[in-house]
Amino acid sequence: MTAIPQGRTRRAALVTAICACAVTGTAVLSGCDGDPDAGTNGVGKLPAATIQAKTRAAAQGAPAVRLSGTVVTSGRTYQLDMRLKADGGTGSVTSKGATFKLLRVGKQLYLKADADFWNQAGGNDGGEGAGGKLNGKYVKVPQDDPAYKKFSGFTDKDVLLDGLLTLHGALATDGHHDDAGTPTIRITGDKGSGGTLDVSLQGQPYPLRLVRAGGAGTLSFSDWGKDFTVAGPAKGETVDYGRQLPTS
């Protein structure tokens, strides 16, 4: 049996290591052919419209998700940090420097804020004002109150994702990228002016980062499929506002 020269063995091992571990700025390449889709879920090879359809289906099928970032609607910017599932959601919303918490259990929506929020929203009506009664309490939002329609959407997984995960204009792919260590394929609408969406190339093709068209906000998605509990507050933690709730 002819022995293989030791130097040749080392060179072969080096070439193998380089091929297996080669990295280019936005994607890890598996294999010497530099295929950025090798070892992924394969959606990076698909047309943009198909990728969008698959990522929407994956998002709708996931039992839970966390989303954070900004949404601009009706000229107002909202900073969101929400955890959502089919039967409810919870998290915080900040707008115009005021932060309040939202909790939805089934169809029942609650809003919780500090005294300053309520006093600014409803005015100080003497004594402690509205804030004295409502500070740190969960306020039930009636379903016929305008605030319910405005804020319940922030807690509704299907409604919120259906409205957000839409790119406008002609769809196209825009290369392989990386989101916090996860390789992604980016799709765009109208070369980016209609929004961009980074889709995971690992596991399910979940959306990971969305830049909305027209500067309407940027959102990150995480904790796909990680369940959590939504439960109504204790009776002593809830109060009635007694008037129309503020929507600003």
- Phi, psi at residue 32, to the nearest 5°? -75, -10
| DSSP symbol at 34 | -
Residue 150 has what pLDDT? 86
Upper half-sphere CA count for residue 171 (Cβ side, 13 Å): 15
Kindly report the number of other CB atoms within 10 A of residue 41's CB atom: 17
3-state SS of the chain: helix, strand, coil percent to 5? Answer: 30, 35, 35
Neighbouring residues of 194: CB distance < 8 A, sequence distance ≥ 6? 167, 168, 169, 170, 188, 213
Question: Tens-digit pLDDT profile for the chain (248 aa)?
Answer: 455 455 554 554 444 444 444 444 444 444 445 889 999 999 999 999 999 999 999 999 999 999 999 999 888 999 999 999 999 999 999 988 889 999 999 999 999 988 877 776 654 443 355 556 788 889 999 998 888 988 999 999 999 999 899 999 999 999 999 999 999 999 999 999 999 999 999 999 999 999 999 999 999 999 999 999 999 998 888 887 666 676 65
Give the angle subtended at the CA of 14 by the CAs of 11 and 19, to the nearest 5°.
130
Q: Say how far apart CA 213 and CA 218 lie, in whole Å.
A: 9
**Nearest Cα to 80, choosing from 210, 231, 241?**
210
pLDDT of 20 reads 44
Give the pLDDT of residue 246: 63
The answer to whether 163 and 102 have CB atoms below 8 angstroms apart is: no
CA distance 7 to 244: 81
A 10 A CB-CB count for 82 gives 20
